[in-house]
Structure 1
Amino acid sequence: MKLLLTLLATCATFSAAQVVNPCPTGYEVFWMDSATPVCLNFAMYGKGTWSELRQMCQAQGADLAKLEGNLHYQVVQYINQHPALMDEAFWIGGTDAASEGNWVWVIDNTPMDTQSPPWYPGQPNHGTAANCACLSTPDFMFHSCDNDRKMYAICQI
């Protein structure tokens, strides 16, 4: 009887996990809060510029990731748990290309807070040469990165 109950509990857990993950294949589920899933893809199949990889994300029905609040912390934890990701940098969906110094998230055109972490101290900087936000090693805080730098991206549905 105990074996049967263990087997049923295992099956129920497996079934619940299947229902809880709303993300398509290739996307990892993260949680904005206890009820709001966010699907992210660490696009490691080719490096490119911010514009190139934004187009690639959009071709998948996604856009570059908006990493606000606890979501940024979860992503950094995920990167630190996956050694293949730890030595890389990733484009995210922040830019001030439309208006220098006015950083926005491209997925919904909302303002980015540039006055506090998760921006690295002294960031954003570099004026019009660095209009795109990225997570850069070793800290994976936000950085304003050179527009033509080649790196991977994090896409969000």
Structure 2
Amino acid sequence: MKMWTVLLLVCAMTTLTYGAAVPEVELVGEEGGPSIQEAAPEEEPDEMAGGFVPASTALNSTSAHRSVYPTNLKEDLDEMAGGLFIQEAALEEESDEMPDGPSIHESNRLMSRGFPFCPSGWSRHNGRCFIYISSPMTWAQAERHCQDLGGNLASVHSHVEYVFVQNMISRITQGFQFAWIGGSDAVEEGTWFWSDGTPFTFAHWDAGQPDNQANSDCMLMNFGDAKKFDDQPCDFEKPFVCAMNM
């Protein structure tokens, strides 16, 4: 009897709490032992009284949130990755449109770390950077200036390279101006070397040169009608060409 009373109280509390009808209760006699069988409602009401949400609905809603969240996260990550790809492509395109490159000091730092481009104002050819300096200097002053820029007076190792340097000068000066380059035989007359230490294997002397006139121990380019090498006194002041490795 006490058990039935407790069960009836539970049903009453459930009705008051959830605002739903009291389910049918089937009582079983003592032979089968007391039990309660709740009859499930045939269909759910359209509106939940008192704001009650069935457990199955809540679970379904939670599952939906759990399934949507990873999908949204993946979409956000994909969108971020796409944005980064677009930014990277834009930076690459911008760098292609900047042939002058960074400053000389920044370029020297980057080139020492393996970045293959030339500083602003320099021209690239065959793994080296070249620049024409229009301020006249003696050969020794020009060599020191090139060293301050990270290179030496230019060495020339082929006819193709010589034509490249000529064309660089021509674009700047609208002509084939005289210019010091890195050849010298000041150490031993008749034995020419490049100031950057590379082998002297290319000779492009003008006719009758070198003649060592007035102790001419330093190399000038664009000499004579043929615009070739000439030896000149090293204390003459001329424009010059610097070169440095990339």
Calculate the TM-score normalised by the size of structure 2: 0.49
Instruction: Give ranges in structure 1 of 5+ residues lacking alignment.
Output: 1-10, 32-36
Higher RCO structure, 1 or 2 (CA under 8 Å, sep 6+): 1
Residue in structure 2 matching 1:48, options 137, 147, 153? 137
From the superposition, tell whether residues 102 and 85 of structure 1 become closer, same or farther in structure 2 (CA, over 3 Å).
farther
Residue type of the alignment partner of 1:65: A
Aligned to 1:25: 120
From the superposition, tell whether residues 109 and 77 of structure 1 become closer, same or farther in structure 2 (CA, over 3 Å).
closer
Aligned to 1:126: 212
Q: Which structure has more strand as a fraction of its residues? A: 1
Structure 1 or 2, whichever has the larger Rg, is 2
Calculate the TM-score normalised by the size of structure 1: 0.74
> Does structure 1 retain, via aligned residues, the 8 Å contact 2:178–2:220?
yes
Residue type of the alignment partner of 2:210: P
Q: Secondary structure at the match of 2:166?
A: helix
Q: Which structure has more helix as a fraction of its residues? A: 2
RMSD between aligned alpha carbons?
A: 2.8
Superposition deviation, residue 139 in structure 1: 3.7
Residues of 2 paired with 1:39 and 1:85: CA distance?
Answer: 21
Residue type of the alignment partner of 2:212: H
**Corresponding residue pairs, total:** 139
From the superposition, tell whether residues 127 and 111 of structure 1 become closer, same or farther in structure 2 (CA, over 3 Å).
farther
Residues of 2 paired with 1:112 and 1:156: CA distance?
Answer: 17
Instruction: Give ranges in structure 2 of 5+ residues lacking alignment.
Output: 1-90, 100-114
From the superposition, tell whether residues 64 and 83 of structure 1 become closer, same or farther in structure 2 (CA, over 3 Å).
closer
Any idea what the Cα deviations from partners look like across 1:49-75, whole Å, max 9, x if unmatched? 100111111111110001110211211
From the superposition, tell whether residues 122 and 13 of structure 1 become closer, same or farther in structure 2 (CA, over 3 Å).
farther
From the superposition, tell whether residues 85 and 63 of structure 1 become closer, same or farther in structure 2 (CA, over 3 Å).
farther
